[in-house]
Chain A
Amino acid sequence: DAKTTQPPSMDCAEGRAANLPCNHSTISGNEYVYWYRQIHSQGPQYIIHGLKNNETNEMASLIITEDRKSSTLILPHATLRDTAVYYCIVRVAGSGAGSYQLTFGKGTKLSVIP
C-alpha cells in the first residue's frame, strides 16, 4: 500500500470548514484513498473513500487531485465533536471477505476551537 504524509496537527474554529490535507505521491492506479477518524479513547470510525472523483457524504467531502498524488478531506462546518485524529489511508480494494487490513499512519490531530 502507498505511504501517506499528513501534518501532525491542525486547528479549526468552530463553525468553519476544516480542510485536512494528505499527500500520497506513490499511489497506484488501483489504490483508493480512505479517511478514518478516532475520537479520544474510541475506536476509529470510517468517514469516506474515493478513487479519483470527488466524493461527498453526510459527514464530509473528499477532493482528490487530478494526478491523484494528494487529497483533502473537508468537514464543512466543524463542531467541537469533530476534534479527533484523522487518518488518511491508501490501499487497494478487494472482493470477498479477504484479509484486507488497514495500515494507519500517524494521522492529523484536529482541534476544533470554540
Chain B
Amino acid sequence: DTEVTQTPKHLVMGMTNKKSLKCEQHMGHRAMYWYKQKAKKPPELMFVYSYEKLSINESVPSRFSPECPNSSLLNLHLHALQPEDSALYLCASRYQLTSAGTDTQYFGPGTRLTVL
C-alpha cells in the first residue's frame, strides 16, 4: 500500500469556523509533511513531523495547528482562517529509497479548502 489518503477532498468554511484536515498513511513512514499550494504556484512547506514530533514549522500562523497523534495519522486543525488561506493542502510522507539516504515523498491528493 503506497498510498497517502486525505480527507475531506473539499472543504468550505467560514472565517469563524473550526475544522480539521486529516492525513493517513500505513507505509510505516516516520516523517510526514503538510504543504500549502495556492493556484498556479508550487507547493510550499508548512510543517514537518519526524517520529511524531514537530521538527519544522515554517513560520506558519497559529490559526493553523498541526497534530500527529500516532505514526500513521497527521491532522491540521484550522481556526479563524482568512479568505487568503484558501488553497490546496497537501500531505506527504517520506520514504527512504536507498542506503545512501536518497528518499522520496509520497503525496496525498490534497484537500481543496475555500474560506468564505
- Using a CB–CB cutoff of 8 Å, the interface residues on chain A facing chain B are 32, 34, 38, 41-46, 49, 85, 87, 93-107
Residues of chain B with a CB closer than 8 A to A38's CB: 43
Partner of B109, one of A42, A93, A107: A42
> 6 nearest interchain CB pairs?
A43-B107, A97-B30, A93-B101, A104-B42, A46-B104, A99-B55
In the complex where A42-B110, A43-B92 touch, is A32 in contact with B105 (Cβ < 8 A)?
no
Consensus secondary structure, chain A interface: loop
Complex contact B101–A102 (CB within 8 A): no
Residues of chain A with a CB closer than 8 A to B42's CB: 85, 87, 104-107
Complex contact B102–A98 (CB within 8 A): no
Complex contact A97–B92 (CB within 8 A): no
Stretch at the interface among B13-21, B45-53, B60-68, B73-81: B45-53
Consensus secondary structure, chain B interface: strand
Q: Which residue in chain B gives the minimum CB-CB distance to A105?
A: B42
Complex contact B48–A99 (CB within 8 A): yes
Partner of B102, one of A49, A85, A105: A49
Complex contact B110–A49 (CB within 8 A): no
Q: Which residue in chain B gives the minimum CB-CB distance to A97?
A: B30
Complex contact A44–B43 (CB within 8 A): yes
Residues of chain B with a CB closer than 8 A to A104's CB: 42-44
Complex contact A101–B56 (CB within 8 A): yes
Q: Which residue in chain B gives the minimum CB-CB distance to A93?
A: B101
Q: How far is the CB of A21 from chain B (nearest CB, A)?
A: 18
Beyond A46-B106, A97-B29, 12 extra complex contacts between A and B, CB < 8 Å:
A32-B102, A41-B112, A45-B107, A87-B42, A95-B96, A96-B96, A97-B30, A97-B31, A97-B51, A101-B45, A101-B56, A104-B43
A99 to B83, CA, bound (A): 30
Q: How far is the CB of B55 from chain A (nearest CB, A)?
A: 4
